[in-house]
Chains A and B, each alone.
Chain A
Amino acid sequence: MSTQLTTLLAVFLFPGGLFALVLGLSLKGLDRRVAARLQGRIGPPLAQPFFDLVKLGFKRTMVPATASQPVFLGAPLVGVVSMLVAVALVPVSGLYSPDPMLGNLIVLLYLLMVPAIVLMIAGSASTSPYGALGFSREMTLMLAYEAPIVLAVLAVALRTGMGQGGVITFSLTDIIAYQRSHGMFLLDPVMWPALAAFALFFPANLGIIPFDIPEAETEVLEGPLLEYSGPALGLFKVMSALKAVVVLSLGIALFMPLPFDGIWGLVGWLVQLAVLMEIGVTVVRLSMGRMRIDQAFGFFLKWPLLLAIASVVTVTIVA
């Protein structure tokens, strides 16, 4: 098979595209169901996110009269496309490794920021004052978590690069291969600060409580998404489902790739995704309230940044 064809398949079929969409929506369904059970409710069917998406697909998209239509409708498209490429960029241990032509860890980090930027653009294009509030909050939050996550990823890249005799590697495939032969970074105390920083970045990037500030329903009425309806809102749901898969599997690739191949690799990866979703998303968002934007900003410039800096320093010293 030609490289182009494999890449296209990776973006649109597996592990990106259709597969990632189904996976992301199922994870969201699981999250909602488990959350309901933890709160003593019955909860929606596991397939509820699919039903929601289909329903939105049949509705009309209303564009506010004052909004700039191309930007308003283009923003969710850009978001979905960026996430489709991003899913195809994350390798799955023993199952899939992306073509180096597609990009490396740095490209992936850039792509991960696109949904936040898209939300900002969508919020300001909608001309709603709540969209504008969402815009400023999204931007503040992004500024806060950007530095820690880059440093945490840098620590992983340094550790792998030095372990392999070089200085640094930005290939996720290499990072997975290194961990498969030397043991997961999850079990390596040197990498724990980086892991902690990543764990704190994760709810902020996925926009869940305590960091769902830009879209806080009871404060800014979903902020940037306020004016969206129908298929355009559906695209945002697709983007967010894909983003969950990207961020979760990036976490798995960086810190805990399983040493299995083939079908067991797939099963193990799916189990890891589900467990991470429950521990990292459901339990976190149920066990605390939302922070205010100034509190979140202060928080990120304290702990995650310190942890991330500590991780880079320890990795350099140990090597």
Chain B
Amino acid sequence: MTDHTVACSYKIPVGPLHVALEEPMYFRVAVKGETIETVELNAGHVHRGVEYLATKRTLLQNMILTERICSLCSNSHPEALAMAAETIGAVEVPERAQYLRVIAGEVKRVASHLFNVGILAHLVGYEALFMHAMQVREVAQDLKEAVYGNRMDLGAHCLGGTRCDMDDEAITYMRSALDKLEPDVRELEKTYRTNGSILRRTRGIGILSHADAIACGVVGPVARASGIQYDVRTAAPYHVYDRLPVNVPVLDGCDVWSRAMIRLSEAVNSIEILRVCLDQLPEGPINDGGDPYIPPGQAIARTEAPRGELVYYLKTNDNPEPERLKWRVPSYPNWDALTFMLKEAKVADIAIIVNSIDPCISCTER
């Protein structure tokens, strides 16, 4: 006999390929009408075996490989790898190189945050704001292209320093680009703070309470939007961050809107950091001229990627290839927190909530 009872709830697949998600993620969502009952997170759609591959490449080759793990935080991966290797080899990074590393990191942060808030506008259906945010971001993209020759993968770092130096012309160009960028980013921040269409769809959505945020161990803007004041740049300053005006914005809205506002104020702060870096930039070498020798050993390095804390573990032996290279990306703990954020949410908000952690799947699944 067939069962004629009408199912009250049914499952819908969100992903692995979904127009609103930029990367393959798969959520199996049980919904009742428009409300979500349970969420199952599934991973593994873009596993490429990069960690294994890294043990078959030399450290120098790994600098290039790790940059290609992810596009939006492509700068932070080789940076953290270089920092781990330099710790093992006790390599002194020249001061100028440390400033240049900060500059590369902060330019990438501005571009990454603007991309994320732009996508948020796209997801709430506000196409004009999306286009505008992407146009503002284009200034940062041009800046990267002019200084490093690439729009996404900067290739700025090498073991023991940086690969690209900045001459006076590049510095002048960067100053003018920052002058152009800053009012636009401030205007965007004001728009996201006041626009009804954005507020209507983002305030009180995707709540991750302070307690849940601590339990999940979330990092980056997701943590700071839930009232956790944690930023590697101030908690464990690396490079020259202890000399720079790093401002760690914290909000306790715990919602999608707070995360977007944190990203925008960080973008404004990054521009300020960049200016100070350009003012303080000392003369001197940018690397020690060759590949430093890295002896057997192990080390951990931490950087603040645009999405949060990125941890690298490197173990070397007598071979040029590392024995083990392992990293924990910020999206890993943040992804898990989605189970809390999606609880009792509406189907219409799934994409908006998922985007609010700025997920980086290619980093997480590598």
Say which residue of B19, B31, B196, B198 sits within 8 Å of A218 (CB atoms): B19
State whether the Cβ of B346 lies closer than 8 Å to any Cβ in chain A: yes
Per the bound structure, the CA–CA distance linking A217 and B128 in Å amounts to 16
| B side interface size, CB within 8 A | 33
Residues of A within 8 A of B123 (CB): 218
Measured between alpha carbons, how far is A217 from B19 in the docked complex, in Å?
7
CB–CB A221/B200 < 8 A:
no
CB under 8 Å from chain A, chain B span 53-111: none
A233 close to chain B: CB less than 8 A: no
Q: Is the CB of B348 within 8 A of A219?
A: yes
Q: Which residues of B contact A285 (CB under 8 A)?
A: 127
B196–A129 contact, CB under 8 A? no
Indicate with 1 or 0, residue by residue over A183-219, a CB within 8 angstroms of chain B CB atoms: 0000000000000000000000000011011001111
Residues on A with C-beta less than 8 A from B33 are 136
Q: Give the residues in chain A near B132, CB-CB below 8 Å.
A: 39
- Stretch among A64-72, A149-157, A243-251, A291-299 lining the B interface: A291-299
Which residues of B sit under 8 angstroms from A209, Cβ to Cβ? Answer: 125-127
Report the stretch among B10-18, B174-182, B252-260 that lies at the interface: B10-18
Nearest chain A CB to B9 CB, angstrom units: 11
**How far apart are B265's CB and chain A's nearest CB, in angstroms?**
21
Does B240 interact with chain A (Cβ within 8 Å)?
no
Q: Is A3 an interface residue (CB 8 A)?
A: no
Is B124 close to A, CB under 8 A?
A: yes
- Chain B positions within 8 Å of A219 at CB level: 20, 347-348, 350-351
- Find out whether the CB atom of A221 lies under 8 angstroms from the CB atom of B19: yes
Q: Which of B20, B125, B128, B346 contacts A212 (CB 8 A)?
A: B125
Q: Is the CB of A286 within 8 A of B11?
A: no
Q: A137 to B19: give the CA distance in the assembly, Å.
A: 19
Shortest CB-to-CB span from B6 to chain A, Å, is 12
Q: Whole-angstrom distance from the CB of B13 to the nearest CB of chain A?
A: 8
What is the CA–CA distance of A136 and B347 in the complex, to the nearest angstrom?
A: 12
State whether A292 and B128 are in contact (beta carbons under 8 Å apart), knowing that A129-B10, A132-B10, A133-B12 are contacts in the complex.
no
Residue B349 at the A interface, CB < 8 A? Answer: yes
Bound Cα distance A130, B121 (Å): 22
B362 part of interface (Cβ distance < 8 Å): no
Judged by a CB distance under 8 angstroms, whether B135 is at the interface is yes
Taking a contact as CB atoms under 8 Å apart, the answer to whether B128 and A39 are in contact is yes
Mostly helix, strand, loop or mixed at chain A's interface? helix
A289 to B19, CA, bound (A): 17
A: number of interface residues (CB 8 Å)? 32
Contact A288 B196 (CB under 8 A): yes
Give the residues from 33 to 50 in chain B that come closer than 8 angstroms, CB to CB, to chain A.
33-34
Q: Please, how many angstroms separate the alpha-carbon atoms of A318 and B42 in the complex?
A: 64
Report B-chain residues with C-beta under 8 Å of the C-beta of A220: 347-348
A100 at the interface (CB under 8 A from B): no
Answer whether A210 and B197 are a contact pair too, CB < 8 Å, given A136-B34, A219-B351, A292-B346.
yes
Name the B residues within 8 Å of A59 (CB-CB).
Answer: none
Q: In the complex, how many angstroms separate the beta carbon of B154 from the nearest chain A beta carbon?
A: 26
Number of A-B contacts (CB under 8 A): 81
A212: B residues at CB distance < 8 A? 125
Q: Are B127 and A39 touching (Cβ within 8 A)? A: yes
Does residue B239 face the partner (Cβ distance < 8 Å to A)? no
Q: How far is the CA of A159 from the CA of B300 in the complex (A)?
A: 79
Question: Nearest Cβ distance between residue B22 and chain A, in whole angstroms?
Answer: 11
Q: Which of A216, A287, A289, A295 contacts B121 (CB 8 A)?
A: A289
Closest to B122 in A: A218
CB distance from A223 to the nearest CB of B (A): 11
Residue of A with least CB distance to B205: A292
Residue contact A289 to B124, C-beta cutoff 8 Å: yes
**In the complex, A40 has a CB within 8 A of chain B:** yes
B201 within 8 A of A: yes
The residue in A130, A136, A137, A216 that gathers the most chain B C-beta atoms within 10 A of its C-beta is A216
Instruction: Say yes or no: A289 contacts B18, CB within 8 Å.
Output: no
Name the residue of chain B whose CB is nearest to the CB of A283. Answer: B128
Give complex CA distance A41, B346 in Å. 33
**Which residues of A16-41 have CB atoms within 8 Å of chain B's CB atoms?**
35, 38-41
* CB nearest to A288 among chain B residues: B197
Q: Would you list which residues of chain B between 162 and 200 have a CB under 8 Å from chain A? A: 196-198, 200
| B146: interface (CB < 8 Å) | no
Bound-state CA distance A132–B9 (Å) is 12
Query: How distant is the Cα of A209 from the Cα of B200 in the complex, in angstroms?
Result: 14
Q: Could you say which residues of chain A place their CB within 8 Å of the CB of B200?
A: 289, 291-292, 295
B348/A292 in contact, CB under 8 A: yes
The answer to the question of A290 belonging to the interface, with a C-beta cut-off of 8 Å to chain B, is yes
CB within 8 Å of B: which A29-84 residues: 35, 38-41
Report the minimum CB–CB distance from B224 to chain A (whole Å). 25
Q: List 24 A-B contacts (CB under 8 A).
A: A39-B131, A129-B12, A129-B13, A133-B34, A136-B34, A210-B125, A217-B20, A218-B122, A218-B351, A219-B20, A219-B347, A219-B348, A219-B350, A286-B127, A288-B196, A288-B197, A289-B121, A289-B124, A289-B126, A289-B129, A290-B197, A292-B346, A293-B348, A294-B34
Top 8 nearest A-B pairs by Cβ distance?
A290-B125, A289-B197, A289-B126, A289-B124, A218-B20, A39-B131, A129-B12, A286-B128
**Given contacts A217-B20, A293-B348, could you give 8 more A-B pairs where the C-beta distance is less than 8 Å?**
A35-B127, A38-B128, A39-B127, A136-B34, A218-B125, A219-B348, A289-B197, A294-B346
